[in-house]
């Protein structure tokens, strides 16, 4: 019994590993690589549905099956750059910005300032829009 269960999960995880290898890439996708990803996803989902026919498809598997390939087609690269670690690092950045603007009232103005500053920091063309701060010359005491 346990060997059968282990075999089912081994196949499932191996099929998922093939999918993960493709979609977690940060490199550009050509048509061949995109077709290989789609084939791997189809095999993975077929095994999932035939092995556990009574189970519903979890949201992450729905995203994999229906949204990953169109996303990669549109943007041309794997979703490795959009991974969970990147999302977590954004939380840290927003927390720092919220501390910077914590005294600003009302809350809507504070949030608007945080979003503008985040956009300025992360968008190269927006960085050029920030005016240069000119330093005043200080007179030295004699």
Q: How far apart are CA 36 and CA 128, in angstroms?
A: 41
Across residues 82-90, what is the average pLDDT? 64
Q: What is the pLDDT of residue 87?
A: 58
Residue 25 has φ and ψ, to the nearest 5°, of -70, 155
Handedness of CA 46, 48, 52, 58 (dihedral sign): negative
82 pLDDT exceeds 60?
A: yes
Tell me the average pLDDT of the chain.
84
Name the token pair of 101. 């603007």
For 38-105, the DSSP string reads HHHHHHHHHHHHHHSTTSPPPHHHHHHHHTHHHHHHHHSB-GGGGSHHHHHHHHHHHHHHHHHTTT-S
Distance CA 69, CA 117 (A): 32
Task: Pick the range with the lowest mean pLDDT from 13-27, 42-56, 107-121, 126-140.
Answer: 126-140
Please name which of 26, 129, 41 lies closest in space to residue 72, comparing C-alpha atoms.
26
CA distance 107 to 33: 47
pLDDT (tens digit per residue) in 7-22: 999 999 999 999 988 8
- pLDDT at position 136 is 78
Phi, psi of 136 (to 5 degrees): -80, 145
């Amino acid at each position: 019994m346990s060997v059968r269960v282990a075999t089912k999960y081994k196949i499932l995880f191996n099929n998922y590993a093939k999918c993960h290898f493709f979609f977690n890439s940060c490199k550009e996708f050509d048509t061949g690589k995109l077709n290989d990803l789609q084939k791997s996803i189809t095999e993975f989902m077929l095994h999932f549905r035939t092995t556990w026919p009574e189970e519903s498809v979890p949201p992450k598997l729905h995203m994999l099956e229906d949204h990953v390939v169109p996303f990669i087609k549109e943007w041309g690269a794997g979703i490795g750059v959009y991974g969970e670690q990147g999302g977590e690092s954004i939380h840290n950045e927003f927390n720092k910005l919220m501390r910077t603007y914590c005294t600003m009232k009302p809350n809507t103005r504070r949030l608007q300032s945080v979003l503008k500053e985040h956009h300025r920091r992360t968008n190269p063309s927006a960085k050029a829009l920030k005016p240069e701060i000119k330093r005043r010359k200080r007179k030295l005491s004699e």
